[in-house]
Structure 1
């Protein structure tokens, strides 16, 4: 029994470390749960993408509401992709750990898109965005190297 517990602890620990660079959830390969990442910048709100306008980037499928948005993303993916791979910006900052993010809990700060886990977490992140961005920027490279 002890060996089983140790095996499970090691297995779960390794799963926690082996995160994809882009958050897609467990049962999908959709970045941002299929929301159009360009729309945050052009429409200033979350807009669901269409399976008519899809591209692959960094191992994830990105959906867009229009051909125009798809073309904009393809031309400058780093400009439109969310920071920290679409994981919760507060978790990357405050916990130096991965957490899922809700594409409806977002902010564009200095031309960059940030997502958060839920409304409560977003409120905490909003209290000091600059500090959280600075901390997350410092934490992110080490988290990705753990892959």
Structure 2
């Protein structure tokens, strides 16, 4: 085996070991850096919809980049400066549960990135977004789904962080 091949094998083993260690610490990383669903491209949370409007106007309202705020690694859009200020004052009050991932999917222990911001419910003062109106209705009607989503969220976070680490590793190793 050539010296170059040996170095590549050692580097590859080190990368895999690092990934293994990182995966071991995923729950810690997830707890410190909550995941926000920004879809498949970009960094805008809940497809640019205003999270405050769900509470204040009882409807899904498209936000504007003009009234934006960066929080938890994502850009949040708002319909007004007032809504942005309300969010900035207490973001946890207005942000969707489970980082804006489909609440119905989380209740099943799965990750559903594609959401419909018009498929939402506020249950016990918390915003839940789903992938379609039927899922949102089912989530609201079946109280076990809320309980199950709370039970499964840690595992779903683990999956999301693991996938991100693997994606980052593949991108870095290709460079």
Same fold (TM over 0.5): yes
Conservation of the 8 A alpha-carbon contact between 2:120 and 2:133: no
* Runs of 5+ unmatched residues, structure 2: 1-22, 162-175
Identify, as 1 or 2, the structure richer in helix. Answer: 2
Q: Distance in 2 between matches of 1:123 and 1:39?
A: 19
* Structure 1 residue 41 corresponds to structure 2 residue 47: no
Aligned with 1:69 (options 76, 83, 101): 83
Distance in 2 of aligned mates of 1:127 and 1:82 = 18
SS of residue paired to 2:105: helix
Query: Structure 1 residue aligned with 2:36, among 1, 22, 30?
Result: 22
Task: Find the partner of 1:144 among 153, 157, 161.
Answer: 157
**Which of these residues, 91, 96, 104, is aligned with residue 105 of structure 2?**
91
Contact kept in structure 1, 2:123 and 2:140, CA below 8 Å: no
User: Which TM-score applies when normalising by structure 1?
Assistant: 0.81
Q: Which has the larger radius of gyration?
A: 2
Do the aligned residues in 1 keep the contact of 2:139 with 2:146 (CA within 8 Å)? no
Structure 1 runs (4+) deviating above 6 angstroms are 17-20
Hey, what's the Cα distance between the residues in 2 that align with 1:108 and 1:80? 10
Inter-partner Cα distance in structure 2 for 1:110 and 1:121: 18
**Pairing partner for 2:147 from 126, 129, 134:** 134
What's the TM-score, normalizing by structure 2?
0.69
C-alpha RMSD of the superposition = 2.0
2:98–2:153: 8 Å Cα contact kept in structure 1?
yes
Structure 1 unpaired stretches of 5+: 1-16
Aligned residue pairs total: 129
- Structure with higher strand content: 1
User: By how many angstroms is 1:127 displaced?
Assistant: 3.0
Q: Quick check: 1:82 aligned with 2:82?
A: no
How far apart in 2 are the matches of 1:74 and 1:123? 29
Secondary structure in structure 1 of the residue aligned to 2:51 = coil
